[in-house]
C-alpha cells in the first residue's frame, strides 16, 4: 500500500507529537520536573529518531511487501511488521541513549545510564510505532472492504444483465416463433407428440423462471432441467441435432450457475448450421473439476445478430464465484467451452 507524500508527512508528525506527549505525561506522573530546554531536547530527539526510523522503514516495508503482502495473510503481516518495527525502534532508542551518554562522558566527565528511563523510552517508542502499524492495518482493511463493496455492486449489476440476456435469449420472438411453429406442425401430424412438446415447453419455461434468480444450483439440478430442455430440442430439430451427455457420478453434487448448459447449447444452435446433411453434435462431459460443452464447428454463412454478452456474462459470474477460469477454446473443427465446477467447501 503506497502512501502519498502528504499522508507520509501527517503520519510522521503525528508520531512525533504522540511520542512527545506520552513522554511528557509518563515522566510527569513519575515526578520528573521539566524545563524549557529539556522539552525542546525531547521534541528534537523525537524528530530525529522518527526521521531515521522512517528511512529504515522504507526497505523493511519493501521487503515485507514482497515476502508477506497484506492480501495473502494480513494477521501474519501485522505480527511480523509489529515485531520488526518494535525491534528496530528500540534499537534506535538504545543507539541514541548510548550516543548521548558518550557525549556526556566526553564533555562532562561522567557516565550515567538510567535503566528505568531506558525501559520507559523503549515502551513509549514501541507504542508509538505500533500505532503506525495499526493505522496501516486499518487502512488495508478499509481498502479491502471498499474493494469488496465495489465487487459486490459490479456482480449484482452483471447478474441483472445476465438474467436479462437469458430472458432475451429464451423469450425473444424468434425463439418463441420457432417453438410455436414446431407445435403447430405437430398438431396436424401427431397430436400426442404435440401435447408432449407443449408440456416440455411449459416445463422449460417454468424451470427458467424458477432458477434464474439463484446464484448456484447442483449439477444434478442443472442436468434435470437440461434433460427437459434437450427433449424439447430433439423434437424441434429431429435428425439435425444430436445431444450427448456423459457426466461422472461423483461430481453431481458440485455447484454450477443455473442454466449455464442451456445458454451454451443455445449459443451453439444460434451460430452453427443445422441440417440433416450437416447435423450439429453437442457433447457434455466432465473432466477433473470442469464440465466440457463441445460442438462441431460449422458456422452459418450469414451470422445472426449477437450482443456478445452471453459468454462474457458467464465468464464474469464464474470469476466472482471461483478461482478457476472459464476456458473458451475454438478450433477450425470444434468449439469447446470448459466450465469450472464450484466446490461445496
- Shared-domain flag, residues 299 and 188: yes
Residue 246 lies in a domain: yes
Using N-to-C axis directions, what is the helix angle for 309-321 and 260-271, rounded to 10°?
160
Which residues have CB under 8 Å from 74's CB, separation 6+?
137, 140, 141
Residue 305 lies in a domain: yes
The pLDDT of residue 108 is 55
- Shared-domain flag, residues 94 and 239: no
Taking the CA atoms of residue 264, residue 269, residue 271 and residue 274 in that order, the dihedral angle to the nearest 10 degrees is 150
8-65: pLDDT as tens digits: 677 777 777 777 777 777 766 766 655 555 667 667 777 777 777 766 666 766 777 7
Residue 198 lies in a domain: yes
133-144: pLDDT as tens digits: 777 777 777 777
pTM greater than 0.75: no
Residue 82 lies in a domain: yes
- Shared-domain flag, residues 10 and 143: yes
- Shared-domain flag, residues 104 and 190: no
Angstrom distance (rounded) from CA 56 to CA 39: 26
Per-residue pLDDT of the chain (345 residues; tens, 9 = 90+): 566 677 767 777 777 777 777 777 776 676 665 555 566 766 777 777 777 776 666 676 677 777 777 667 777 777 777 777 777 766 776 666 666 655 555 555 544 455 566 677 667 777 777 777 777 777 777 777 777 777 777 777 777 666 656 655 555 556 667 777 888 888 888 888 888 888 888 888 787 777 767 778 999 999 988 988 888 888 888 889 999 999 999 899 999 988 889 889 988 988 899 999 999 999 999 988 899 999 999 998 876 656 556 788 788 888 878 889 999 999 999 999 999 999 866
Give the domain-ending residue among 87, 117, 150: 150
Angstrom distance (rounded) from CA 327 to CA 15: 51
- Shared-domain flag, residues 143 and 199: no
- Shared-domain flag, residues 49 and 85: yes
Number of domains in the chain: 2
Whole-angstrom CA distances from 280 to 167, 245, 274 are: 24, 14, 6
Which residues have CB under 8 Å from 313's CB, separation 6+?
158, 161, 162, 165
**In terms of DSSP bridges, do strands 334-340 and 327-330 run parallel, antiparallel, or are they unpaired?**
antiparallel
Residue with the three cell numbers 450469414 = 302
Residue 327 lies in a domain: yes
Give me 146's grid cell: 471498499
- Shared-domain flag, residues 312 and 187: yes
Whole-angstrom CA distances from 168 to 25, 204, 211, 321 are: 70, 15, 15, 24
The pLDDT of residue 30 is 65
- Shared-domain flag, residues 47 and 134: yes
- Shared-domain flag, residues 77 and 192: no
The pLDDT of residue 228 is 86
The pLDDT of residue 222 is 92
- Shared-domain flag, residues 124 and 189: no
234: domain CATH number is: 3.30.565
Using N-to-C axis directions, what is the helix angle for 5-29 and 115-171, rounded to 10°?
140
Give the domain-ending residue among 94, 116, 150: 150
- Shared-domain flag, residues 37 and 123: yes
The pLDDT of residue 223 is 93
Residue 164 lies in a domain: no
Beta bridge partners of 327: 338
Angstrom distance (rounded) from CA 264 to CA 283: 11
CA nearest 85: which of 20, 137, 140, 27? 137
Angstrom distance (rounded) from CA 157 to CA 320: 12
What is 26-58 written as a DSSP string?
HHHHTT----HHHHHHHHHHHHHHHHHHHHHHH
Residue 159 lies in a domain: no
Whole-angstrom CA distances from 270 to 23, 88, 122, 234, 262 are: 76, 66, 73, 15, 12
- Mind spelling out the 3-state secondary structure of 111-163? CCCCHHHHHHHHHHHHHHHHHHHHHHHHHHHHHHHHHHHHHHHHHHHHHHHHH
Domain span including residue 98: 5-150
Give the domain-ending residue among 150, 181, 210: 150
φ, ψ (nearest 5 deg) of residue 301: -60, -40
- Shared-domain flag, residues 96 and 229: no
Give me 150's grid cell: 465495489
Angstrom distance (rounded) from CA 338 to CA 345: 21
Residue with the three cell numbers 457434455 = 284
The pLDDT of residue 124 is 72
The pLDDT of residue 35 is 55
Give me 299's grid cell: 458456422
Amino acid at each position: 500500500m503506497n502512501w502519498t507524500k502528504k499522508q507520509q508527512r501527517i503520519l510522521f508528525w503525528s508520531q512525533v507529537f504522540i511520542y512527545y506527549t506520552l513522554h511528557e505525561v509518563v515522566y510527569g506522573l513519575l515526578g520528573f520536573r521539566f524545563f524549557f530546554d529539556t522539552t525542546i531536547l525531547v521534541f528534537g530527539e523525537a524528530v530525529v529518531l522518527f526521521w531515521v526510523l522512517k528511512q529504515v522503514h522504507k526497505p523493511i516495508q519493501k521487503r515485507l511487501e514482497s515476502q508477506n503482502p497484506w492480501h495473502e495473510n494480513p494477521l501474519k503481516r501485522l505480527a511480523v511488521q509489529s515485531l520488526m518495527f518494535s525491534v528496530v525502534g528500540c534499537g534506535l532508542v538504545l543507539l541514541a541513549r548510548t550516543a548521548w551518554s558518550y557525549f556526556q562522558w566526553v564533555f562532562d566527565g561522567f557516565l550515567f545510564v538510567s535503566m528505568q528511563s531506558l525501559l520507559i523510552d523503549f515502551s513509549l517508542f514501541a507504542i508509538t510505532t505500533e500505532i503506525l502499524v495499526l493505522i496501516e492495518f486499518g487502512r488495508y482493511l478499509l481498502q479491502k472492504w471498499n474493494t469488496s463493496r465495489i465487487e459486490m455492486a459490479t456482480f449484482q449489476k452483471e447478474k441483472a444483465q445476465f438474467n436479462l440476456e437469458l430472458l432475451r435469449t429464451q423469450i425473444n420472438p424468434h425463439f418463441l416463433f420457432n417453438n410455436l411453429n414446431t407445435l403447430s406442425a405437430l398438431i396436424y401430424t401427431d397430436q400426442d407428440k404435440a401435447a408432449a412438446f407443449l408440456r416440455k415447453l411449459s416445463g422449460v419455461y417454468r424451470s427458467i423462471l424458477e432458477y434464474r434468480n439463484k446464484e448456484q444450483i447442483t449439477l444434478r439440478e442443472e442436468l434435470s432441467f437440461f434433460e427437459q430442455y434437450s427433449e424439447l430440442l430433439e423434437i424441434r430439430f429431429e435428425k439435425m441435432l444430436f445431444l450427448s451427455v456423459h457426466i461422472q457420478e461423483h461430481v453431481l453434487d458440485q455447484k454450477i450457475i443455473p442454466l449455464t448448459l442451456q445458454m451454451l447449447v443455445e449459443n451453439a444452435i444460434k451460430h452453427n448450421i443445422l441440417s440433416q446433411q450437416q447435423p450439429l453434435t453437442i457433447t457434455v462431459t466432465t473432466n477433473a473439476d470442469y464440465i466440457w460443452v463441445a460442438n462441431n464447428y460449422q458456422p452459418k454463412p450469414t451470422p445472426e445478430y449477437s450482443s456478445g454478452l452471453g459468454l462474457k456474462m458467464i465468464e464474469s459470474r464464474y470469476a466472482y464465484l471461483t478461482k478457476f477460469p472459464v476456458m473458451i477454446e475454438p478450433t477450425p473443427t470444434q468449439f469447446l467451452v470448459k466450465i469450472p465446477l464450484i466446490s461445496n467447501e
